């Protein structure tokens, strides 16, 4: 019986139900980043820079203070980039140099518009400088993706480590730096009450009061301004520190490559040539008819003869706005053609080349006539900042479209970085040449030489500091003229009134707003 039971086969195990995958897989816990002592010190310096940024802004009223901020920003960051052993490539150094050079406009020029654009470019160049110094560029060399790198450096990278500033100060492993900063802040808070009492006791002395007011410009409104600058300076500091840390960690490079951008662009190029010609030929036909109908106006711009029933102002203004609108339209068309038009396996497209050349040539023809109209206007009425800006803008557009033409015959020519360099170089020339001073000098010389019938003193007064030396020269020259005409006497009197008004108000200028034209204006008045 026992042997019979031993021969019974074992029962097979019950099949297990299939394991279902979990509905939710938690992401792996990433430990918080450890910050080095150098990074913690840079975090504190970022707080100082954020405060200085708020004190230097607005650029309109404090151009010299803004220049100091730019110099401090670039200098401090460069020191820490060296300490972090960043790899300074040609692109990073070149852009940084251009940012510092353009920022000199804040001192050399007294023009508010140029100050604003110079400050904005210096900040944008700084972001790219830090971004590129840690080798985060999508592509090395003279890359066509430079604009994408600029956008990523300004609008993406700083926010990848935006909250790291306070962790760097207070959450280091040893904790010493954070504790010392906290102790220092506690000491400053405890010093508020006794310092206020001491100030109240010593406030009776006029010499002490005047000295204190001269150094700190102390008043309740000023105190509130400093508190507000500290509060707003904190997110600015977080932006500066986030840019540095994210660039150092290589965060912008994760998941993004130049190949991916180029593949996306290649996949978007699906439009056939027939569609491109059908969409653009009507526009080119209208351009041709328009040029034929306006032929007499274009010719008059080159020969210097104003068309009948047309004022100089309307003539030049229409040429400028026509150029701006058509340039914008043509630029959009060329960009769309380059993005959407289908190419062969080697990336070549004859229709794209033909259409790009035609649109570029049409734009250059219009640009040349618009410049001729503006020159005719300037010869009649002289220079103003708006006329200079318009001419400058048309020159920049013309150079960019010439670069587009070169691209069609030299396939390896890179339009985007070339256009970027052209724009920065032209702005550098505009900002560092003392534009307003040259405008005033041209108008005064043209009037004294008889090229202009009169001189627009209202426009000269609007130039501010830059026009004062020329107004002094104009007044002195007219006063020294024997038996001057009545209109010249009136101009000399009005010029003297403008100089006197400036002299009365220039005493209120602070060191924060000092510029080279202001220094030259003071010297010319004293002489």
Judge whether 512 and 64 are in contact, CB under 8 Å: yes
Instruction: Name the least confident of 45-59, 103-117, 334-348, 380-394.
Output: 334-348
Residues 335 and 394 in one domain: yes
Residues 52 and 197 in one domain: yes
Q: Name which residue leads in pLDDT, 297 or 87.
A: 87
Residue 137 burial class via C-beta count within 10 angstroms: exposed 0-12, middle 13-18, buried 19 and up: buried
Is 28 a member of any domain? no
Rounded CA-CA distance 261/175 in Å is 43
Judge whether 83 and 38 are in contact, CB under 8 Å: yes
Judge whether 81 and 88 are in contact, CB under 8 Å: yes
pLDDT at res. 454? 87
**Sign (positive or negative) of CA dihedral 59, 63, 67, 72:** negative
Would the pLDDT of 184 be above 80? no
Q: What is the pLDDT of residues 70-106, one digit of tens each?
A: 999 999 999 999 999 998 889 999 999 999 999 999 9
Residues 62 and 113 in one domain: yes
* SS3 of 217-241: CCCHHHHHHHHHHHHHHHHHHHHHH
Q: What is the pLDDT of residues 331-353, one digit of tens each?
A: 888 888 888 888 776 767 888 88
Rounded CA-CA distance 494/471 in Å is 10
Residues 98 and 179 in one domain: yes
Would the pLDDT of 122 be above 70? yes
Would the pLDDT of 27 be above 50? no
Residues 425 and 522 in one domain: no
Rounded CA-CA distance 483/89 in Å is 66
* Paired strand residues for 103: none
pLDDT at res. 180? 66
Residues 316 and 208 in one domain: no
Q: For a pLDDT cut of 70, what percent of the chain falls above it?
A: 77
Residues in CB range of 159: below 8 A, 6 or more apart: 242
Residue 259 burial class via C-beta count within 10 angstroms: exposed 0-12, middle 13-18, buried 19 and up: exposed
Query: For 275, left (φ over 0), alpha (ψ -120 to 50), or beta?
Result: alpha
Listed residues 203, 222, 257: the one ending a domain: 257
Measuring CA to CA, which residue among 280, 304, 293, 40 is closest to residue 178? 40
Q: Name which residue leads in pLDDT, 299 or 82.
A: 82
Structural domain including 471 reads: 435-526
pLDDT at res. 193? 67
Calculate the average pLDDT of the chain: 82
Is 29 a member of any domain? no
Listed residues 382, 405, 432: the one ending a domain: 432
Is 133 a member of any domain? yes
Residues 114 and 231 in one domain: yes
Is 274 a member of any domain? yes
Q: Name which residue leads in pLDDT, 219 or 129.
A: 129
Q: Name which residue leads in pLDDT, 507 or 23.
A: 507
pLDDT at res. 23? 46
Is 58 a member of any domain? yes
Is 7 a member of any domain? no
pLDDT at res. 170? 78
Is 15 a member of any domain? no
DSSP class of 271: B
Q: How many residues does this entry show for the chain? A: 527
pTM of the model: 0.83
pLDDT at res. 270? 76
Would the pLDDT of 177 be above 50? yes
Is 6 a member of any domain? no
Listed residues 413, 432, 451: the one ending a domain: 432
- Upper half-sphere CA count for residue 125 (Cβ side, 13 Å): 26
Q: Name which residue leads in pLDDT, 255 or 422.
A: 422
Residues 118 and 86 in one domain: yes
C-beta neighbour count of 228 within 10 angstroms? 11
Residues 449 and 408 in one domain: no
Residues 296 and 443 in one domain: no
- What total of structural domains would you count in the chain? 3
Residues 497 and 362 in one domain: no
Residues 216 and 301 in one domain: no
């Amino acid at each position: 019986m026992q042997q019979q039971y031993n021969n019974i086969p074992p029962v097979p195990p019950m099949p297990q139900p299939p394991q279902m995958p979990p509905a939710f897989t938690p992401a792996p816990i990433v430990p918080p980043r450890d910050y080095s002592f150098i990074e913690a010190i840079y975090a504190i310096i970022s707080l100082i820079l954020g405060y200085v940024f708020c004190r230097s802004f607005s650029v309109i009223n404090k151009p010299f203070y803004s220049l100091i901020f730019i110099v401090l920003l670039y200098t401090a960051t460069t020191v820490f980039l060296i300490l972090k052993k960043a790899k300074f490539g040609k692109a990073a150094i070149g852009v940084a140099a251009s940012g510092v050079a353009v920022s000199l406009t804040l001192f050399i020029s007294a023009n508010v518009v140029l100050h604003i654009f110079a400050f904005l470019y210096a900040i944008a160049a700084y972001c790219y400088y830090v971004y590129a110094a840690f080798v985060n560029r999508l592509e090395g060399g003279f890359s066509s993706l430079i604009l994408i790198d600029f956008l990523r450096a300004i609008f993406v990278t700083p926010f990848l480590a935006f909250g790291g500033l306070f962790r760097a100060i207070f959450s280091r492993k040893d904790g010493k730096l954070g504790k010392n900063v906290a102790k220092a802040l506690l000491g400053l808070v405890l010093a508020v009450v006794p310092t206020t009492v001491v100030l109240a006791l010593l406030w009776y002395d006029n010499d002490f009061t005047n000295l204190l007011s001269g150094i700190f410009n102390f008043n309740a409104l000023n105190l509130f301004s400093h508190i507000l600058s500290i509060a707003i300076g904190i997110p600015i500091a977080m932006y500066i520190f986030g840019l540095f840390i994210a660039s150092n960690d290589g965060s912008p490079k994760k998941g993004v490559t130049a190949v991916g951008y180029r593949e996306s662009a290649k996949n978007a190029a699906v439009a056939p040539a027939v569609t491109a010609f059908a969409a653009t030929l009507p526009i080119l036909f209208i351009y041709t008819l328009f040029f034929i109908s306006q032929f007499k106006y274009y010719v008059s711009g080159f020969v210097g003869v104003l068309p009948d029933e047309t004022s100089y102002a309307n003539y030049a203004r229409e040429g400028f706005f026509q150029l701006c609108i058509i340039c914008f339209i043509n630029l959009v068309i060329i960009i769309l053609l380059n993005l959407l038009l289908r190419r062969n396996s080697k990336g070549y497209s004859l229709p794209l080349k033909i259409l790009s050349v035609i649109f570029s040539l049409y734009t250059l023809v219009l640009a040349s006539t618009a410049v001729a109209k503006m020159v005719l206007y300037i010869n009649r009425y002289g220079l103003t900042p708006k006329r200079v800006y318009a001419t400058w803008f048309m020159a920049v557009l013309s150079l960019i479209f010439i670069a587009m033409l070169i691209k069609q015959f030299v396939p390896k020519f890179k339009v985007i970085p070339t256009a970027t360099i052209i724009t920065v170089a032209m702005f550098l020339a505009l900002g560092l040449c003392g534009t307003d001073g040259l405008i005033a000098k041209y108008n005064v010389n043209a009037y004294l030489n008889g090229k202009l019938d009169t001189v627009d003193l209202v426009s000269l007064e609007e130039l501010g500091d830059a026009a004062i030396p020329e107004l002094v020269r104009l007044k002195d020259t007219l006063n020294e003229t024997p038996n001057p005409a009545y209109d010249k006497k009136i101009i000399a009197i009005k010029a003297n009134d403008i100089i006197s008004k400036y002299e009365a108000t220039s005493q209120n200028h602070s060191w924060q707003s000092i510029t080279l034209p202001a220094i030259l204006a003071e010297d010319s008045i004293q002489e």
